């Protein structure tokens, strides 16, 4: 442990794990034993599975997930390890599946759902996690 580590109490290290086939499985930093910074995970075929930011062991900021063939599956925002902000998900064919906002882990405002052809199948409005319309 270096002098600066002793003074500031922060020890950072890069963690990398591999699938049995040799492909990278996950990679990111750990600070004082907590996940910290950007972490990326991959499927065994090498395609990205998810990417997101950790702050002292809590999800923070944008998290993105993909299908195993590379198509985006989900984008969601977090603050202090709780869903907070815009959430958008997609079908395997690339068409939008669902879109809505989280506020401190509860649904807030308009949530829209589409079928695989792109037609709206449901529109709901939430206030503080409760369906109002």
Mean pLDDT by 10 residues, the chain (133 residues): 54 95 97 95 98 97 98 98 98 98 98 98 98 91
Q: Is 65:50 a contact under the CB 8 Å cutoff?
A: yes
Q: What is the pLDDT of residue 110?
A: 98
How far apart CA 89 and CA 86 sit, in angstroms, is 10
Q: What is the pLDDT of residue 11?
A: 85
Q: Within this chain, do residues 90 and 133 fall inside the same structural domain, yes or no?
A: yes
Q: Within this chain, do residues 9 and 39 fall inside the same structural domain, yes or no?
A: yes
Q: Within this chain, do residues 79 and 113 fall inside the same structural domain, yes or no?
A: yes
Model's pTM, two decimal places? 0.88
CATH number at residue 105: 2.20.110.10
Q: What is the pLDDT of residue 126?
A: 98
Q: Within this chain, do residues 30 and 6 fall inside the same structural domain, yes or no?
A: yes
Q: What is the pLDDT of residue 122?
A: 98
Q: Within this chain, do residues 92 and 46 fall inside the same structural domain, yes or no?
A: no
Q: Considering its fold, how many domains does the chain have in total? A: 2
How far apart CA 85 and CA 30 sit, in angstroms, is 26
Q: Within this chain, do residues 75 and 43 fall inside the same structural domain, yes or no?
A: no
Query: 17 is in which domain, residue-wise?
Result: 1-55
**Is 62 domain-assigned?**
no
């Amino acid at each position: 442990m270096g002098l600066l580590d002793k003074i500031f109490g922060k020890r950072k290290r890069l963690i990398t794990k591999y699938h049995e086939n040799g492909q990278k499985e996950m990679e990111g930093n750990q600070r004082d034993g907590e996940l910290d910074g950007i972490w990326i995970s991959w499927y065994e075929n090498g395609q990205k599975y998810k990417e997101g930011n950790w702050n002292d062991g809590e999800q923070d900021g944008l998290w993105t997930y993909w299908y195993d063939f590379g198509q985006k599956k989900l984008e969601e925002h977090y603050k202090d390890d709780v869903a907070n902000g815009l959430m958008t998900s997609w079908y395997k064919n690339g068409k939008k599946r669902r879109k809505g906002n989280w506020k401190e882990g509860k649904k807030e405002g308009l949530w829209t759902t589409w079928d695989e052809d792109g037609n709206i199948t449901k529109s709901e409005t939430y206030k503080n996690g409760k369906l109002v319309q």
